[in-house]
Amino acid sequence: MNIDNVEFNRGVISPMECFREGWQLIKEDYWLFFGITFVGVFIGGMGPMAVLVGPMMCGIYLCLLQQERGKKVTFDMVFKGFEFFAPSLIATLIMVVPIILMVLVLYAFLLIGVFAIIGLHGNNRQGPPPEQMMALFGAYGIGIFLLILASIPLKAFFLFIYLLIVDKQVSGWEAVRLSFRAVRGNFGGILGLVLLSECLGFIGFLCCGVGAYLEMPLSFAMFTVAYRQIFPAHDPFARFSDDGDDEHDDLPRRRSADSDTSMRADPA
């Protein structure tokens, strides 16, 4: 697919609208999607070097896109994400490499600072002055905070990579490029949506940590709604039509694929 010809809408994202529509998308089958997202995130975190993250994220979004089209969703569909193993792995590696580099720079700063202080006070039997060590670790804490802040816009630009892989069936690199273009055209709304998701997750974490897991299906649903508002509809299960899995077609359509025809499409 030539991603330069892929049409998408600009300036169409309202975080609160995505919140409301995301809840409407999953509320009738909330516990099913809770199980899908919990298992998907859990298995995704088990593999070394994030090799399972991509397939499981693709599986979660496959289920949500199926739900968005008004089709039946079953728990086993989450594992169909492994059909996209190679492109999702490439996209995941492209996403995590900048984060890993930032973390390594931060750790290098800490280690260099510790050894520098020890070297300056190596002959001091009482060891390095506590105030210098406190200052160093304070600077490290500030670095961690800045890293978290930097990760928010980074997450925003990579937001649609897995949705694009399963919906448009593009390669990992093409998904990254197209996600960046689409987010750039909707940056304010997408950044607000990511911040809203982070706030919901933080509030859930304050509820003994359990709320963070309960909130996960809603965040995935909000991102799916935002994706559909930007990109034209497409059947994510079209590639599986040869399986004869016709039982997924027995629910009425819940949303109109043409509900956003008034939005401006930008082929660039």
Quote the pLDDT of residue 267: 43
DSSP helix/strand/coil, 8: strand
Domain coordinates in residue numbering, the chain: 27-100+160-237
Quote the pLDDT of residue 244: 46
What DSSP letter does each residue of 159-225 carry, written as one string?
TTHHHHHHHT---HHHHHHHHHHHHHTTHHHHHHHHHHHHHHHHHHHHTTTHHHHHHHHHHHHHHHH
Quote the pLDDT of residue 73: 95
Name the residue among 99, 21, 20, 22 with its Cα closest to residue 53.
99
What is the pTM assigned to this prediction? 0.78
Quote the pLDDT of residue 259: 43
In whole angstroms, give the CA distance from residue 217 to residue 66.
14
Residues of the chain with pLDDT under 50: 244-268
Handedness of CA 145, 150, 154, 159 (dihedral sign): positive
Quote the pLDDT of residue 124: 58
What lies within 8 Å, CB to CB, of 253 at 6+ separation is 69, 70
